[in-house]
Amino acid sequence: MTETSYDPDATGSVSAEQAARLPYRLGVGVALLDPLGWVFVAQRADMRSEAWQMPQGGIDPGEEPLPAALRELQEETGVTSVALLAESRDWLSYDLPLELVPKLWGGRYRGQKQKWFAMRFLGEESEIDIFGPHQEFTTWRWAELDELPRLIVPFKIPLYHKVVAEFAPLIAG
């Protein structure tokens, strides 16, 4: 199978038709819950506006989703003291805005298709370190689960609504 890509040097923009022909990048996300059911969120370092998100990232070649989620969580937050609570039933996806397609991931993807995991944080807050070698965040806090869609960049709002709906029973019960 030939990998489809968009050449950002050609015109500097991408059409909806070009983007629709691109594949999704496989990724993972983690809803890290404290003992009271609050969710870890962190502010992205690469955004001019205030944009918060849960830990997430790509799956390396040959890597399974759960090990990828644990790796991303550790790389982005320093956290390793967790217990798995749930895995999303389906892969959830989001499309990038057209202006971002040629700027991210070498123009090879239209967005991400992610497997999400809910994990209980078992450690002390002193374990959380967002300033490691893979720093992506400037600050972090605990948030209510239903607050998450209001914190994320607009193009990920529908995905975050799905994550919230799927993992809400973990907190309510």
Q: How far apart are CA 36 and CA 43, in angstroms?
A: 21
**What are the Cα distances from residue 98, in Å, to 21, 72, 164?**
13, 26, 26
CATH class of 16-172: alpha beta
Tell me the pLDDT of the chain averaged across its residues: 91
Paired tokens of 142: 């605990």
82-105 pLDDT tens trace: 999 999 999 999 999 999 999 999
The model's pTM is 0.90
E strands, 18-110, are: 24-33, 39-44, 52-53, 56-58, 82-87, 92-95
